[in-house]
Amino acid sequence: MLPADGEIAGLLALMLLTEARRPARLTADGELIPLFEQDRGKWDRGRIAEGVALVEHALKHSRIGPYQLQAAIAAVHDEAERAADTDWAEVLALYQVLSRLWPNPMVTLNQAIAVAMVDGPRAGLAFLEPLKTDERMLQHHRLAAVTAHLLEMAGDTDAAIEHYRAAARQTTSLPEQRYLQSRITRAQSAT
């Protein structure tokens, strides 16, 4: 009904790009598979192409908004043939724009991951510092989970395990608890 609205197109693109990854998001027994470990051969390339075309058109022909930027970030992930091929500098640049346009702790959390991928895990951990005093995030499991992941990347396994445990205690999602427990087990076996 509003084909010229860039944010509606951005939201549709984001939905398509996210849905395209659904077949690879869970194991056969319902365990979570993180984006980095997903079998990209299971992703729906038709939905990805449709989502990419929508967001590219919206970014060129309308005022930039948060949905378009989130869709653009998803497009960068979805267009990479392998997780290692992800253009993290582009992802970081898009998060920098998104954080100015739509500042919120979840954007900061995701931006910290992009910072870590571009500048190293310690830079990502430093980027998380302001969230440690943000009332909205203090009891949220994702802050502890991202901190754990970045600590693990930095080689601080003991601290990573403690943060994974905190995240597992904070989430009410059983699949997330099981995933976080698997990260603990994996980290413990690496020591």
Under 8 Å between Cβ of 23 and 65: no
What pLDDT sits at residue 138? Answer: 86
Q: For residue 160, what are the domain limits? A: 120-191
Classify burial at 133, counting beta carbons within 10 Å of its beta carbon; exposed 0-12, middle 13-18, buried 19 or more.
exposed
What pLDDT sits at residue 166? Answer: 97
Three-state secondary-structure class, residue 39: coil
Prediction pTM value: 0.95
Termini Cα distance of the chain: 57
**Tokens of residue 132, six digits:** 């440690």
Domain boundary among 103, 131, 147: 103
Say which amino acid occupies 133.
T
What is the distance between the alpha carbons of residues 133 and 146, in angstroms, rounded to a whole number?
Answer: 16
Domain boundary among 103, 132, 161: 103
96 shares its domain with 15:
yes
What pLDDT sits at residue 56? Answer: 97
148 shares its domain with 55:
no
**Tokens of residue 41, six digits:** 């051969």
Could you report the average pLDDT of every consecutive run of 10 residues in the chain (191 residues)? 84 98 95 96 98 97 97 98 97 98 97 98 98 92 97 97 98 96 95 76
8-state DSSP, 136 = T
Number of domains in the chain: 2
What is the distance between the alpha carbons of residues 128 and 131, in angstroms, rounded to a whole number?
Answer: 6
Three-state secondary-structure class, residue 32: strand
What pLDDT sits at residue 4? Answer: 76
How many CB atoms sit inside 10 A of residue 97's CB? Answer: 15
Domain boundary among 60, 76, 103: 103
